[in-house]
Amino acid sequence: MGYGPQWRTESECMKQRFTPNDVGSVVATLQPAPSTAEELVMYSNASGDTNPLHLKLEFAKKAGFDNLVVHGMLGMAHMGRLLTSHFPAAAIASFLVRFSAVILVGEQVNYQATLEECGNEFYRLALVATTTTGGVVMKGEATIRITEPTFPT
Amino acid sequence: MISRALIGLSLPTFQVTVDAERVRLFAQAIGETNPDYFNGIVPPTFLKAIDGENNSSRRILELLDVELTNVLHVEQQFDYFAPVHVGDCITVNRKVIDIHDKRDGALEFIVIESLFSNVSDQLLGRAKQWVMVRNGARKVNA
């Protein structure tokens, strides 16, 4: 399995190098366009998650929401884009989020990563996503490998 | 209450070949425009789309006899040991690894683990999904 070449290619994309002085700094932000109903249909088809909360406005309204509910995993995927826009995908060692509130179609969400720890082998990032009204929709953390791992070739 | 005897419930192992078109659609849906993701390493959360291919979380919750309208996906974790690429044949093992409750059983938590391996039996990744069940919650009428 040829992991080597992909890693080298991706490694060249590593845009961020941090020092312990950067701990506490916001190191990445992402503001994707607010999700649309069409986007939720696309995500349902691509992910297999066809819960009607994401697809049927009537159902979402009966469940007490003012609009379609964005898949939690689509929000996490946007947080994933925040990571992959700054680090190679192969450098991500772990990625965790806790969902604390739903995102509705049309809501602008800001995704942000803060450097929590700058070790010799890993960066640890604190992740948060907030709506423009300041509500936290998810919090989490990710660890990023700094040294190149050796994969079997 | 969900029977605690179901902790350890393993679902049948299944295999998925990571389809380029599926990854392209997924990347498009999440707004990922980097072409590396169309034929290289899959986006980080794509593993969640793989593990729902068979033994979906919905199916698992049905096996646990949980009312689907009362559940919320409250937490998701991924550990990546080696990259998953387009074209890889991935073996998926899903298992209920914990069931516990809070507030005297008003809230129950189900933890589902997914292990992703390649054809050489190398563990590429692990996912954990926390599902919260609101017992006695008002039922949503579809």
User: What pLDDT does residue B135 have?
Assistant: 86
pLDDT of B138 above 50: no
Q: What is the CATH number of the domain that holds B81?
A: 3.10.129.10
Average pLDDT for A122-142: 96
Half-sphere exposure of B94 (CA within 13 A, CB side): 23
pLDDT of A108 above 90: yes
Higher pLDDT, B38 or B75: B75
Q: Give the Cα separation of A120 and A131 in Å (integer).
A: 34
Number of domains making up chain B: 1
Average pLDDT for A59-74: 94
pLDDT in tens, B81-91: 999 999 999 99
Query: If pLDDT is split at 50, 70 and 90, which confidence band does A150 have?
Result: low
User: What pLDDT does residue A1 have?
Assistant: 30
pLDDT of A5 above 60: no
User: What pLDDT does residue B140 have?
Assistant: 45
User: What pLDDT does residue A16 have?
Assistant: 59
pLDDT in tens, B64-103: 888 877 888 999 999 999 999 999 999 999 999 999 999 9
Note whether residue B1 is domain-resident.
no
Handedness of CA B20, B26, B28, B30 (dihedral sign): negative
pLDDT of A134 above 50: yes
B10 touches chain A (CB under 8 A): no
The structural domains of chain A, with segments of one domain joined by +, span 3-34+75-145
Mean pLDDT computed over every residue of chain A: 87
Interface of A with B in 1-60 (CB under 8 A): 1, 3, 6-7, 9-10, 13, 32-33, 39, 42-43, 45-49, 51-52, 59
Which parts of chain B fold into alpha helices (H)? Answer: 20-29, 36-39, 46-51, 57-63
Note whether residue B142 is domain-resident.
no
User: What pLDDT does residue A151 have?
Assistant: 53
Q: Which amino acid is at B12?
A: P
Average pLDDT for A107-133: 95
Q: Give the Cα separation of A80 and A75 in Å (integer).
A: 9
Q: Indicate the pTM of the whole model.
A: 0.89
Across the strands, what pairs with A123? A118, A144
Report the share of chain A in percent with pLDDT over 70.
86
B140 touches chain A (CB under 8 A): yes
Higher pLDDT, A11 or A52: A52
Q: Is B25 exposed, middle or buried (0-12, 13-18, 19+ CB in 10 A)?
A: middle
Domain A3-34+75-145 has CATH 3.30.70.1150: no
Chain B interface, best mutation among A94, A103, A127, by max B CB count within 10 A: A94
pLDDT of A140 above 90: yes
Interface of A with B in 86-115 (CB under 8 A): 89-90, 92-99
Mean pLDDT computed over every residue of chain B: 89
Note whether residue B140 is domain-resident.
no
User: What pLDDT does residue B139 have?
Assistant: 45
Q: Which amino acid is at A80?
A: G
What residues make up the domain containing B84?
7-134
Q: Is A68 exposed, middle or buried (0-12, 13-18, 19+ CB in 10 A)?
A: buried
Nearest-by-Cβ selection for B43 from A48, A51, A80: A80
Q: Which amino acid is at B74?
A: V
Average pLDDT for B41-50: 94
